[in-house]
Structure formats: C-alpha cells, structure tokens
Amino acid sequence: MGFGRNPHVAKAEAAEQKALAARDALAREQGWREAARQWERAADRETEDKRRQPYTDKAEAARAAADGEPVDEAN
C-alpha cells in the first residue's frame, strides 16, 4: 500500500473474489456483504465526488449480488 492510497479498495476487491469463489450460498452472500461494506468505507475516505461515485455504485452492486441478483463480473 502506497502513501495516499485507499486501503479499503484492495479489501473490497479481495472480498469480491472470495464471494465469487465461495462454494455455498451463505458464504457467497457474506462475501458480497463484506465487499459492500468495504466499498462504502472506501467511498467514505474519498473527498472528491468523481472518485466516490464508482465506489458507491460498486457497494450497491455488491449488495444486490448478496440479495441474489446476477453479478456483472466485467466491473
């Protein structure tokens, strides 16, 4: 982690990977909820709306995935 970088981005990405690799529905849901929580924390650390919005969008998408909606793995 470099100086000035948002550490929650890496944590959120790791949680997403864990959710995608989960073998059962409960683990997958918990992984997506953790990813959403980390994306929100990343958004909270940003001061510019331009950088905050993508993190907020990813948090919403992760929560939708936790609720059982299809996941767009391109993002």
Q: How does pLDDT run across 30-41, given as a tens digit for each residue?
A: 999 999 999 999
Tell which residue, 16, 43, 44, 45, has the closest CA to residue 31: 16
pTM, two decimal places: 0.85
Q: How does pLDDT run across 41-72, given as a tens digit for each residue?
A: 999 999 999 999 999 999 999 999 999 876 66
Helical (H) or strand (E) element with 11? helix 7-21
Q: Is the pLDDT of residue 2 over 60?
A: no
Higher-pLDDT residue of 70, 74 = 70
